[in-house]
Structure 1
Amino acid sequence: MTQFTLPQNSFLLLLGLVTMAFVWILLPFSGAVFWGIVLAIVFAPLHARLLAACGARRNTAAFATLVVIVLMVILPMTLIAAALVDQALGLYAMFSDGQLDFDALLRRVVAGLPAWAASLFDRYQSTIINTVQEKLTSGITEAGKLAASYAVNFGRNALNFFIGMAVMLYLLFFLFRDGRTIAARIKRAVPLNSHYKKPLFDKFETVIRATVKGNVLVAMAQGTLGGLIFWFLDVPGPVLWAVVMSFLSLLPAVGAAIIWGPVAAYFLFTGSLWQGAVLALYGVLVIGLVDNLLRPMLVGKDTKLPDYLVLLSTIGGMALFGLNGFVIGPVIAALFIAAWSLFAGAEEFHGE
């Protein structure tokens, strides 16, 4: 076993301290740095093509890739966010003005229940209605307080958002321009044998690219399809529900059904049989089919992770890291599998 001298130990201690201090400094911009790295990996093939087309002019290729990202990702996201806020405010106004009467909606649902369920509801009617009213009132009140707090802090939140966006784009430019050099230096600095480093780095890059592209494409497809059927069935706020379904579809197998399932049940229980049947069939055969076909092809195929592990790592990652977790969770799971596979291979090799 290698014995380190006092100067070597002191340098390692210093290296650890300055690394922790550097990470601490970057914490306020951790989201911007994280998504800058993710986008650099995802759009690396596009940048390589643009670099070849620009005659190896690195600054021009990096700037061109940045423009494509702004037009393809950031601008559409901004427009969708504006529409989302508009429809969310519209629904909140309907709640506040009493245009949506939850007592009437609940009674319409009860009227469509079987006789035994309706009699059970009549027995506990007052308790159920009071509980529902209490939850809705508290929910609307909290939503109002949240909206007011966002209104008060809008300037600060907007400033932080634009600063983070500027940091991400600024970092992206240099990652595209000098990314290969930076990656090569990081690989050299990692104290692992090349037998381990190459597969782990390759797996890291593959999983990030597959997870982001696959999950984003599935989310966009499911959200768009869900928003279209909600618009066709005249459900209030189709853009809002489309965005919500897009976010929920990041959870494999169960995501978008959390929204369209209860709406279909409401239609069926309230006598709107054709709307409920259309939505249920559309949800299972169209929205569900997108998840069952595209996700294994775009995510599981490249990451080589089983569906149940993709689901668990995505849910766990989002529980711990928020929205960033839909990338971080599968990456950690894939590196876990890759590291243990390498370890098992090394044990077999040494055993021979």
Structure 2
Amino acid sequence: MANNDRLLVQILLLFLLGASLWVLAPFWSALFWAAVLSFASWPVMRVLTRLLGGRQSLAAGLLTLVWTVVVAVPLVMLGFNLADHIKDFTALLKGFQVEGLPPVPAWLAGVPLVGERLVGFWLTIDQQGAAFFATVRPYLGQVGNWLLARSAQIGSGMLELALSLILVFFFYRDGPRLAAFAQSLLKRLIGMRADHYLELVAGTVQRVVNGVIGTAAAQAILAWVGFAIAGVPGALVLGVLTFGFSLIMVPPLIWGPAVAWLFWQGEVGMGIFLLIWGIFVISGVDNILKPYLISRGGNLPLIVVLLGVFGGILAFGFMGLFLGPTLLAVAYSLLSDWVGTPVGSIMLSSTEPAEKTQR
């Protein structure tokens, strides 16, 4: 009878756990980003709490406000700017349809190998503008629908970001209590190795955060150097924007338009230079520096880190940048512990209960 009661309690606990996960399912992404953000900036939270005389709630509120100003406000402004640019792009297409294309740029004919063909293509589109736009009009509708869908995703991302910033306050305020709960839960599940795996997960996440921020800073500096050499106006501002876009791994959205602007201004040589600099230096450093910074200070093989980073991104999206290396790190450590355990000790531990039963 006691066994039946225990089984019933276990079933009820599993049902309660499943229901709780179901309730939290819509907020997993926001919870994940709030946890990563609070963990990565926890040293700052500790220093701020000490400066404020131990008032943890006040420190949590101030640091959350800082994140709101630094992260949320620029992203909201970026969203509005993208909406404005979409409107300008639509107006530009309508202007081309009514008035035709502008005169052929002088630099277009000087493009090696394909310059004359490009000029001919430009003149053909200008002369047959009405027929051309009538041909591409259905595709423009598809592009408009695609942009509308992406705009909806940006809006949902903004709401998710706002929720993450609200949740990060509670992670800051209740961080020590949540850490103690996680430690107790892991000790209950896996015993004395709980501290080891907590340190493993914490170290992996910290190295990933350092790798992402360090790579973004390097790309921003390299982008600023390239913009300054090419003579692009606002090089410093574009470098700062490159840092923000590098965090979401799309720096070409900054240096790409700069290359197009240089070609449009007739600076073909500098445009080619910035194109090569962007592909091989700004974007290329991501494939070298990020894996190095993530693997630095840990005992994981570099191939495990690479597979974790790129495989995680393919499997989980941007969240996989943190999930992939962490999952592979824990799996690699578990397998290492299992392989490193002597077979004799496993056999001995499995035969001890039988010997005691016989006695």
TM-score w.r.t. length of structure 1: 0.70
Residues 206, 158 of structure 1: CA spacing in aligned structure 2 closer, same or farther, 3 A cutoff? closer
Q: Structure 1 stretch 310-319 or stretch 28-37: which is displaced more?
A: 310-319
Kindly report which structure 2 residues correspond to 1:143-162, keeping only aligned pairs within 5 A, or say none: 143=146, 145-146=148-149, 162=162
- Which string of whole-angstrom CA distances, capped at 9 and with x for unpartnered residues, describes residues 162-202 of structure 1? 455323423432124x244323322333x21324x232221
Q: Distance in 1 between matches of 2:110 and 2:141?
A: 26
Secondary structure of residue in 1 paired with 2:25? helix
- Aligned residue number for residue 166 of structure 1: 166
Assess if the C-alpha contact under 8 Å between 1:264 and 1:279 holds in 2: yes
Q: CA deviation at 1:257?
A: 5.7
- Aligned residue number for residue 183 of structure 1: 182
Residues 293, 194 of structure 1: CA spacing in aligned structure 2 closer, same or farther, 3 A cutoff? same
- Which string of whole-angstrom CA distances, capped at 9 and with x for unpartnered residues, describes residues 293-318 of structure 1? 74245312135445554444334333
Q: Is residue 278 of structure 1 aligned with residue 285 of structure 2?
A: no
Residues 136, 349 of structure 1: CA spacing in aligned structure 2 closer, same or farther, 3 A cutoff? farther
- Which string of whole-angstrom CA distances, capped at 9 and with x for unpartnered residues, describes residues 201-233 of structure 1? 211111111112321342354257547856953
- Aligned residue number for residue 43 of structure 1: 41
Q: Distance in 2 between matches of 1:134 and 1:226?
A: 37
Secondary structure of residue in 1 paired with 2:328? helix
Q: Distance in 2 between matches of 1:312 and 1:269?
A: 40
Q: Which stretches in structure 2 are left out of the alignment for 5+ residues?
A: 126-131, 348-359
Q: CA deviation at 1:18?
A: 1.3
- Which string of whole-angstrom CA distances, capped at 9 and with x for unpartnered residues, describes residues 226-262 of structure 1? 4785695359x9599737842453xxxxx64687479
Name the aligned partner's letter for residue 137 of structure 1: L
Q: Is residue 313 of structure 1 aligned with residue 308 of structure 2?
A: yes
Q: Is residue 82 of structure 1 aligned with residue 79 of structure 2?
A: no
Name the aligned partner's letter for residue 200 of structure 1: Y
- Aligned residue number for residue 219 of structure 1: 216
Larger radius of gyration: 2
Name the aligned partner's letter for residue 166 of structure 1: I
- Which string of whole-angstrom CA distances, capped at 9 and with x for unpartnered residues, describes residues 42-64 of structure 1? 23333444455566x4xx13531
Secondary structure of residue in 1 paired with 2:296? helix
Name the aligned partner's letter for residue 210 of structure 1: R
Q: Structure 1 stretch 85-94 or stretch 270-279: which is displaced more?
A: 270-279
- Aligned residue number for residue 290 of structure 2: 295
Q: Is residue 98 of structure 1 aligned with residue 92 of structure 2?
A: yes
- Which string of whole-angstrom CA distances, capped at 9 and with x for unpartnered residues, describes residues 46-87 of structure 1? 3444455566x4xx135314423431x331112321331243
TM-score w.r.t. length of structure 2: 0.69
**Residue from 122, 137, 140 that aligns with 2:140:** 137
- Which string of whole-angstrom CA distances, capped at 9 and with x for unpartnered residues, describes residues 134-168 of structure 1? 796246412553478689xx6x9876654553234
Count of residues in correspondence between the two structures:
329
Name the aligned partner's letter for residue 10 of structure 1: L
Q: Is residue 206 of structure 1 aligned with residue 209 of structure 2?
A: no
Kindly report which structure 2 residues correspond to 1:222-301, keeping only aligned pairs within 5 A, or say none: 222-223=219-220, 226=223, 232-233=231-232, 242=242, 245-249=245-249, 256=251, 260=255, 264=259, 272-280=267-275, 282-283=277-278, 287=282, 291=286, 294-301=289-296
Q: Structure 1 stretch 274-283 or stretch 330-339: which is displaced more?
A: 274-283
Structure with more relative contact order (C-alpha pairs < 8 Å, separation 6 or more): 1
Q: Distance in 2 between matches of 1:264 and 1:280?
A: 6
Assess if the C-alpha contact under 8 Å between 2:64 and 2:169 holds in 1: no
TM-align CA RMSD: 4.8
Identity of aligned residues (%): 18
Q: CA deviation at 1:8?
A: 3.3
Q: CA deviation at 1:17?
A: 1.7
Residues 186, 26 of structure 1: CA spacing in aligned structure 2 closer, same or farther, 3 A cutoff? same
Residues 198, 162 of structure 1: CA spacing in aligned structure 2 closer, same or farther, 3 A cutoff? closer
